[in-house]
Structure 1
Amino acid sequence: MAYISKTAIIILYDVGVKSIKIRLVLLAREIIVCNNKFLKD
């Protein structure tokens, strides 16, 4: 268990980075939608 292969670390890192980017994109879309609703009202 102590030994983790480099490929596993790279895969986990890549997946983590992608999930963070997706979350940021979704958050940005929500902020834009909320701003548009606020401006329309």
Structure 2
Amino acid sequence: MVDDYQNIIDSGIQNYDVATSKANSNIQDVLTELGVARLLENNQR
């Protein structure tokens, strides 16, 4: 019984870690795109 709960908790933690990792990756992608857009904008001035 306790093992079942522990497995559920461990699974939840893994899912959270994966989601956090994906979110961080997406944030990095957006920041990179914003940086590139800003560079292009500055070059056109």
TM-score, structure 2 as length reference: 0.81
Counterpart-to-counterpart distance in 2, 1:24 and 1:7 = 25
Runs of 4+ in 1 over 3 A off after TM superposition: none
Indicate yes or no: 2:35 matched with 1:29. Answer: no
Structure 1 portions without partners, runs of 5+: none
Q: CA deviation at 1:40?
A: 0.2
Q: Tell me how large the CA RMSD over aligned residues is.
A: 0.3
* Higher-Rg member (1/2): 2
Residue 12 (structure 2) aligns with: 16
Q: How many residues align?
A: 37
Q: CA deviation at 1:20?
A: 0.2
Q: Which runs of 5+ in 2 are unaligned?
A: 38-45
Bigger helix share? 2
| d(CA) in 2 for partners of 1:24, 1:12 | 18
Aligned residue among 23, 35, 38 for 2:34? 38
Q: Normalization by structure 1: what TM-score? A: 0.88
